[in-house]
Structure 1
């Protein structure tokens, strides 16, 4: 199969979300140290991870419409503050700084660099706010690699609906049958892409699944080249 376009999920595919939360927690502790009676980066991280739930927040844990606002509320309620910050300010800190705290997945830069040099069309297809997707990709230093950054907010449809994959291929000018999608989620990424007619690879290690096709699973991004 002559693959012409390679499309990626973002969280836990190009960026390691747990490691990114660790970096963000340190940034928050540094920025608000004068507001806190004590600084416990592990506690900050645990509060965030409870709300964030690997980027797939549970509705019952969200106190607000966004992860950022819910995280801000939880931090204000649970940390030991000398002086509590304004909730809107802390929410904005999340949106300003989380993307810039993004930690790349091992091997991601070299894989993207090689794919770009080999003239593949490249895109990110990710559920979430468009500005947040752009900030994360900028924080990773990956923006120059991509022909398109596609978010569910931009398209108006979320993965795993086939239409977001089909529109992504159309934006790249490549038919689905000549496109390869890589992601960590067995339903939103792997099955969604396959249902839209793309070739799909599941990056293992982040979600339980019952996918038995060993030829469709990878454990590191560099294995992509075996499927082009």
Structure 2
């Protein structure tokens, strides 16, 4: 439950001059988790017919949440993009009691999954209204993400988020978050200083600590209330941030 102190902290965070706002993309602007769950279930298809609905949901959530830790290995350069997806598929199929696709069968699986998941990309319901508020306040905004810039630009466009001129990927700045480089590149492209830029993301380390290390202000977007022990400013939805910015 949000307390009065949390509210005051949010207002204190945004009270000093802000010139721009940078966002994480996945599970901050775009509901990637739900798209991954739906995409996995659809791609698994009849192969998962022996599973109870709850079993299937648990396996799909495990895949979407990357309980295998494969994506961080991709960001560290240990795996290719397809390689991290293979690790996640192998784990999911083991949980389902099925032989995992490999070789050309996996390539077909991965292509099918990619098409399905992209068709499921959607922004969270509070995103468009929040971006409208930023525009009305004259605040520029952009995105800094731990994925390839071209892929993330396509994700925003397919999600109907067409107003992002500034999109920084892990390849753009030569390093992924929480390294300061992508945050600083985002500020450079926005034309704002780190001290007058607010960063919004859903990961306490990659987003909040990374942004703060680079000199930005940061707020954790915790839509599910799963970071109760976080020592910093938390919001449960973008409407809270809109209200705080309008109340300055």
What does residue 235 of structure 2 align with? 218
Q: CA RMSD in A?
A: 3.3
Specify every segment of 5 or more residues in structure 1 that has no aligned partner in the other structure, as ranges.
Answer: none
Number of equivalences:
219
Native 8 Å contact 2:174 2:181 kept in 1: no
- Residue 106 in 1 paired to residue 118 in 2? no
CA distance in 1, matches of 2:72, 2:63: 6
| Structure 1 residues 37 and 60: CA distance shift in structure 2, 3 A | closer
TM-score (norm 2): 0.72
Displacement after TM superposition at 1:42 (Å): 5.6
What does residue 147 of structure 1 align with? 165
What does residue 165 of structure 1 align with? 183
What does residue 125 of structure 1 align with? 144
2:87 to 40, 47, 70: 70
Specify every segment of 5 or more residues in structure 2 that has no aligned partner in the other structure, as ranges.
Answer: 1-15
Displacement after TM superposition at 1:109 (Å): 1.7
Displacement after TM superposition at 1:168 (Å): 1.0
SS in 1 for 2:215: coil
2:113 to 82, 94, 114: 94
- Residue 197 in 1 paired to residue 215 in 2? yes
TM-score (norm 1): 0.78
SS in 1 for 2:125: coil
